[in-house]
Amino acid sequence: MPPAIVLFTQDLRVHDHPALTAAVGDRDAVLPLFVVDPAITGRAARNRCAYLSEALTDLRAALRGRGGDLLVREGDTVDRVCALARETGADTVFLTAGVGRFAARREHRLREAVPAVHALPGLTVVPPGAVTPTGGDHYKVFTPYSRAWADRERRSVLPAPEKVRLPAVDPGALPGDLAERGVGALAPDRLAGGERAARARLRAWLEGGLSRYDRTRDDLPGAATSHLSADLRFGCLSPLETVEAAEASGAGQGAEEFVRQLAWRDFHHQVAAAFPGLAVRDYRPRDRVWHGDPEALDAWRRGRTGVPVVDAGMRQLLREGFMHNRARMITAAFLTRTLHVHWKEGADHFHAHLVDGDIADNYGNWQWVAGTGNDTRPNRPFNPLRQARRFDPEGAYVRRYVPELAGLPGRRALTPWREERLPDGYPPPIADPGR
């Protein structure tokens, strides 16, 4: 039987990988392949390129440890798949089904070029489109979705294949430091990428913070969330395995709340699958009036708005390629509701820096905050100062990321404009942050 190609994309793992397991079970030899496609790396955040480099090194080691290898090619994905198929006689491609425009086009072109393509689940816990409301192609509101999501029967979590047999073929070199490509700046304090690091983080999380998560997830200085988003974004962790591990952990309400967040991730993916324009068009047009304000936008991007909790979030993004969820909501609401700058400006900036930056989650959440997305209360008030008092009551988060305010004790760091003199180098607020 000819070998089959396993095309890796956003699923850079060997555990619970339905496409890899199916190919290994079906064929004597398989060709695990990753294509460094300039159409993706040219536009991706430098931080994501860096994570990708590490994940590929790790995946190659995991496959070599099983007798196989990761073949690496560079160029247009479909062209490279076809070239490898010609070179080796492979007649079938196995891959994990994706969502979004790019994935749809890739799959369509592959189907035209290769005799057989098998797109298998693995990107989400419940595949997009697997649960639908009566009379609709996707859920527009989270609560009914989450009920259907919870009731849906799941496939079994798969072990990593023990052996991967590879025909004689040039593996190709890993692409070197991909972080030299891409857009945005490289964050000095990023987390290390790859399946091994991801699994270690998951283990530590299950034994550590998970049981308190329901009480601590909004605590800004505590940073008491899983930090697994980039691992899930690159598929170094299977979302299904993550959910099942949390459910089996005995962590009670902490685990319940954590699983709920993974349902949110699936929710946004099924929205993106049904509404591929999510990154460019209002999901629900609401006649919002936006202001083009380049100076305010620049201050927001650099963390120099003069509103400490906003600046702390924006600087965390630049320093870590990550931002606490509560800070993402505060900074996004400040840009779209206080400054009335278009959500796309903010989402694009996030996308240029987040290691976990993902079209479905980033643009879906931005539209949610801006009131053009799936929020059932699009005009809910969101006051950054009140948020700061509630979730950073002693100003510890603000002082951690805004060193100019380090000398202001306690919650005085949240309102420096009320001091007799603004701390050196810190600007006055560019807009009224509320009371």
Ligand X SMILES: Cc1cc2nc3c(=O)[nH]c(=O)nc-3n(C[C@H](O)[C@H](O)[C@H](O)COP(=O)(O)OP(=O)(O)OC[C@H]3O[C@@H](n4cnc5c(N)ncnc54)[C@H](O)[C@@H]3O)c2cc1C
How many residues does the structure list for the chain? 435
Interface with ligand X (CB under 6 A), residue from 57, 216, 249, 325: 325
Among residues 172, 131, 135, the alpha carbon closest in space to that of 150 is found at 131
Interface with ligand X (CB under 6 A), residue from 283, 300, 366, 401: 366
CB of residue 276 vs ligand X: minimum separation in angstroms?
Answer: 17
Interface with ligand X (CB under 6 A), residue from 282, 361, 392, 404: 361
Cβ neighbours of residue 394 closer than 8 Å, sequence gap 6 or more: 221, 410, 411
Interface with ligand X (CB under 6 A), residue from 23, 56, 332, 430: 332
Interface with ligand X (CB under 6 A), residue from 77, 270, 365, 367: 365
| Of 38-46, 64-72, 153-161, 226-234: span binding ligand X (CB under 6 A) | 226-234
Interface with ligand X (CB under 6 A), residue from 164, 262, 405, 413: 262
| Of 164-172, 181-189, 307-315, 351-359: span binding ligand X (CB under 6 A) | 351-359
Residue 192 near residue 54 (C-beta atoms within 8 A): yes
Interface with ligand X (CB under 6 A), residue from 264, 274, 393, 419: 264
Residue 336 and residue 389: Cα distance in Å, rounded? 21
Interface with ligand X (CB under 6 A), residue from 53, 96, 211, 229: 229
| Of 44-52, 246-254, 271-279, 321-329: span binding ligand X (CB under 6 A) | 321-329
Residue 229 vs 415, nearer CB to ligand X: 229
Write each residue from 158 to 197 as x if it is in contact with ligand X (CB under 6 A), else as -, in one continuous string.
Answer: ----------------------------------------
Residue 63 vs 323, nearer CB to ligand X: 323
CB of residue 32 vs ligand X: minimum separation in angstroms?
Answer: 25
Instruction: Based on the shown chain and the rule CB under 6 A, indicate whether residue 356 belongs to the binding site for ligand X.
Output: yes
Instruction: Based on the shown chain and the rule CB under 6 A, indicate whether residue 344 belongs to the binding site for ligand X.
Output: no
Nearest 5°: phi and psi at 82? -65, -40
Cβ neighbours of residue 287 closer than 8 Å, sequence gap 6 or more: none
Instruction: Based on the shown chain and the rule CB under 6 A, indicate whether residue 354 belongs to the binding site for ligand X.
Output: yes
CB of residue 327 vs ligand X: minimum separation in angstroms?
Answer: 8
Helix axis angle for 239-247 and 195-207, nearest 10°, is 20
Instruction: Based on the shown chain and the rule CB under 6 A, indicate whether residue 219 belongs to the binding site for ligand X.
Output: no
Instruction: Based on the shown chain and the rule CB under 6 A, indicate whether residue 350 belongs to the binding site for ligand X.
Output: yes
Interface with ligand X (CB under 6 A), residue from 48, 60, 190, 217: 217
Interface with ligand X (CB under 6 A), residue from 233, 304, 319, 342: 233
Size of the site for ligand X (CB under 6 A): 28
What are the Cα distances from residue 318, in Å, to 46, 153, 244, 352? 11, 40, 33, 10
CA 200 to chain CA centroid, Å, is 18
Which residues of this chain interact with ligand X, rule CB under 6 A? 217, 225-229, 232-233, 258, 261-262, 264-265, 268, 325, 328-329, 332, 350, 354, 356-358, 361-362, 365-366, 369
